[in-house]
Chain A
Amino acid sequence: MNKLELISTLKDKANLTKAEAAEVVKIFFDSLTDAFLEGERVEIRGLCSFHIKEYKSYTGRNPKTGEKVTIPPKKLPFFKCGKELKERVDF
């Protein structure tokens, strides 16, 4: 499912106009993005939580050429699946 399908499903299920559904989806993912940029934690009960994890620099290898490369330090949002979602996904 992509963003457009998500908007159209929300429009039908919540009886919204397409513009309203698009706005809800936009506000949701923009809020998460802004929190990541601020380094703020995100906690959506039942779905998931995120925190920004800092990774140190390390020496990696290009798997194609075997060449050594230095990977600079980086930050990534770390996803943790919520309890409800975890239980519903697993058989």
Chain B
Amino acid sequence: MALTKTVIAERIQNKLNFSRTETYDILEEFLEIIKSTIADGEDIMISGFGKFCVNEKKVRKGRNPATNEEMTLPARRVVTFKCSGKLRDMIND
């Protein structure tokens, strides 16, 4: 089973004294802060966890592997994640 919002919401609800609806609103607000910050091009750095970065990709030539047709891929922005050294060590322990 994958870890989802539902499980995280339950844990928050068990720890803090909020109703189910309030907990979901808080969690959505939290996720919205992360999303809008990244959408504005700002990185998010969580010590001991990792860093969410926005990277600019330049225009490049690509090829459609199915048709072998050459095409130009436009410049774009992508989100990357860099795992912190501490977390990496914990996972590999």
Q: Mark A residues whose CB is within 8 Å of B.
A: 1-3, 6, 9-10, 13-14, 16, 20, 23-25, 27-29, 31-33, 35-37, 40-50, 52, 74-77, 79, 81, 84-86, 88-91
Contact = CB atoms under 8 A, between A and B. Distances in A.
Interface in B8-44: 8, 11-12, 15-16, 25-27, 29-39, 41-44
Contact of B47 (A3, A31, A85): A3
Contacts, number: 130
- Chain B, interface size: which category? 35 or more
A52 B39 contact: no
Contacts of B3: 31-32, 35, 40-43
A43 B80 CA distance: 16
